[in-house]
Amino acid sequence: MCQGSHNTQDHWDYMATLPQDPVDMLDDLIRMGMYKDSALKMADAVSSAEVRKALFLKMASHGDPKRERLIRDLASVAGGLDNAFAAAFGAKAGEFFGDARRTSAVTRREFIRNVAIGAALVSLANCAPNPGDDAADTDPAAGDAATGDLEKTDIQVGFIPITCATPIIMSEPLGFYKKYGLNAKVVKMPSWGAVRDSAIAGELDAYHMLAPMPIAMTLGLGSAPFSTKLASIENINGQAITIAERHRGNVNGPADFKDFVIGVPFPYSMHNLLLRYYLATGGLDPDTDVKIRPVPPPDSIAQLVAGDIDAYLMPDPFNQRAVYEGAGFIHKLTKEIWPGHPCCAFAAGQSWIDENPNTFRALNKAIIEAASYAQDMNNRKEIAAAISDRAFLNQPTEVVEAVLTGKFDDGNGNTLDIPDRIGFDPYPWQSFANWISSQLVRWDLQGDGKVAEAITKETYDEVGNQIFLTDLARELAEELGQEPPAEVYRTETLAFDTFDPSDPEAYVKAQIEKFGV
């Protein structure tokens, strides 16, 4: 390791007396008091996300396959990067340090091993390869330098025909997939249940999913457990509560929805969670005072007109289409309930990601770049024309344009100009994951207590870090010249309360105490 810079006989005599196992070496140093308690406590203050960011940015620029294999092997020994970093530096370090003070030799040894690996990984990240080292081919003609050689180029991405999927859909006709060497086709799916089942069956490569779905699927809520990763957010805002024309003049607030049958696209959706949040503020119990039922978005208007449902909280363009058809009126945009809330996401199964890491990276990067393009209001009309086609949304262009530009009639005689009616910020905040998890715990959608068993006070962050690939999304955005946040958590301000992601359990208790449900 020191490459011969210390080659005296005294050096070698001294080295011969030292433990050969690095774990034993660290164990000796700890016993000798070389690691003070203050130093161990300081590790709690170091952000594991920042350490991972520094590591991956440096490794991406090095591009040496041998170094990558070494890092993968080290991480595997530690049980994953999170274990190595958390033990050495991260926010979970306190748990590992607590283990180190126990009497179990196995636990202590595991802790020391992970500290050593975490430190080794950071050291590797800070050691640039020598000019003479073999380097990976970074010739643009060989593929995207930041994604590597693609394992496969013929890709199929499932989507639901809604404006939330804009970055995923537009990347085909506007060439974002092609830019990254992908021959990607988007495949229209009939319902969110079909998306979930197709993902579990491995029928397509990646998917447009509702933001809560990867959490629910990974934890086995509503299906067999299936490890799914949320790679980037597709849209923020972009939903609304629409009420049937027959109820015009009778609904002014959440309490007026009593005895309604209300459609949502899927149980494990932001739509269901936001609707429940809103109804509860009016004193309604969403499980007894109304009936909430899953309705595939393309069927929502027909059910509204037929009287099967009284209202729905749906993605666009079906809110705007209801106004267009004279079937209903927009009661409230969801941005009024939670400005900047997540809705849909780009996701893939862990097994597929493991088999196609470079392809996954290229696919995610194309979608993040498309989201940035869609965020620019100057591009919205072009995008509306591209995704309104029969193969995609199959909607009148003026309806899609009204949603994307925020210039629309609400069905109440108002012509509105709300540019952020829908937004396309791909950054997957960990605070989004914690809020979603808190509401899954609050509402116990399966009624069996399984959610509360899976998500405890101690595991909120663990669930989010495992499923939301925030660090990767930041890395790819930076490679694109964007300026994503350095933080992973933020305080979320909703219409009726404020969510502190550091204490989701207290938030749920406060909600129940305030609203009774």
- CB within 8 Å of 302: residues ≥ 6 apart: none
Interstrand relation of 206-210 and 498-499 (parallel, antiparallel or unpaired): unpaired
Place of tokens 């495949």: 187
- Peptide bond preceding 317 in cis form (omega within 30 of 0): yes
Angle between helices 397-405 and 380-387 (to 10 degrees): 140
Higher pLDDT, 449 or 111: 449
Angle at 34 between CA 30 and CA 37, to 5 degrees: 75
Supply the pLDDT for residue 98.
Answer: 38
pLDDT in tens, 413-430: 999 999 999 999 999 999
Separation of alpha carbons 353 and 26, rounded Å: 35
pLDDT in tens, 221-279: 999 999 999 999 999 999 999 999 999 999 999 999 999 999 999 999 999 999 999 99
Residue 88 pLDDT more than 90? no
Which is higher by pLDDT, 137 or 28? 28
The mean pLDDT value of the chain amounts to 84
Q: What per-residue confidence (pLDDT) applies to 66?
A: 61
Query: For residues 248 and 237, is the Cβ–Cβ distance under 8 A?
Result: no
According to the model, what pLDDT value does residue 464 have? 95
Answer yes or no: is pLDDT of 408 > 90.
yes
Percent with pLDDT over 70 in the chain: 72
Average pLDDT over residues 60-65: 56
Q: Look at the block and give the residue holding tokens 């092609």.
A: 178
The domains located in the chain, with CATH, are 12-125 (no CATH), 154-237+342-515 (3.40.190.10)
State percent of the chain over pLDDT 90.
Answer: 68
Reply yes or no on whether the pLDDT at 93 is more than 60: no
How many CA atoms within 13 Å lie on the side-chain side of 245? Answer: 13
Task: Supply the DSSP symbol for 416.
Answer: E
pTM for the whole thing?
0.73
Per-residue pLDDT reduced to its tens digit, 327-383: 999 999 999 999 999 999 999 999 999 999 999 999 999 999 999 999 999 999 999
**Looking at 94-103, 199-208, 316-325, 344-353, which range is the least confident one?**
94-103
Confidence grade of residue 449 (pLDDT, cut at 50, 70, 90): confident
Residue 47 sits at φ, ψ, to 5 deg, of -80, 120
- CB-based contact 415:409 (threshold 8 Å): yes
113 pLDDT exceeds 60?
Answer: yes
Predicted local confidence at residue 81, as pLDDT: 59
**Displacement of CA 305 from its chain's centroid (Å):** 35
CA-nearest of 97, 88, 150 to 123 is 88
Residue 140 has pLDDT above 70, yes or no: no
Torsion angle of C-alpha atoms 311, 312, 313, 314, degrees rounded to 10: -140
Backbone angles phi, psi at 75, to 5 degrees: -60, -40
Q: Which stretch of 5-19, 23-37, 167-181 has the lowest confidence by average pLDDT? A: 5-19
Would you state the pLDDT for residue 85?
Answer: 60
Q: Which pLDDT value is given to residue 136?
A: 34
Q: Which tokens belong to 113?
A: 């091993």
Question: With 70 as the cut, is the pLDDT of residue 137 above it?
Answer: no
Task: Give the residue, 18 or 381, on which the prediction is more confident.
Answer: 381
Q: Residue 3 — pLDDT band, cuts 50, 70, 90?
A: very low
Distance of CA 10 to the CA centre of its chain: 54
pLDDT at residue 177, as a whole number:
98
- Count CB neighbours of 300 within 10 A: 26
Mean pLDDT, residues 197-214: 96
Q: How many CB atoms lie within 10 A of CB 456?
A: 12
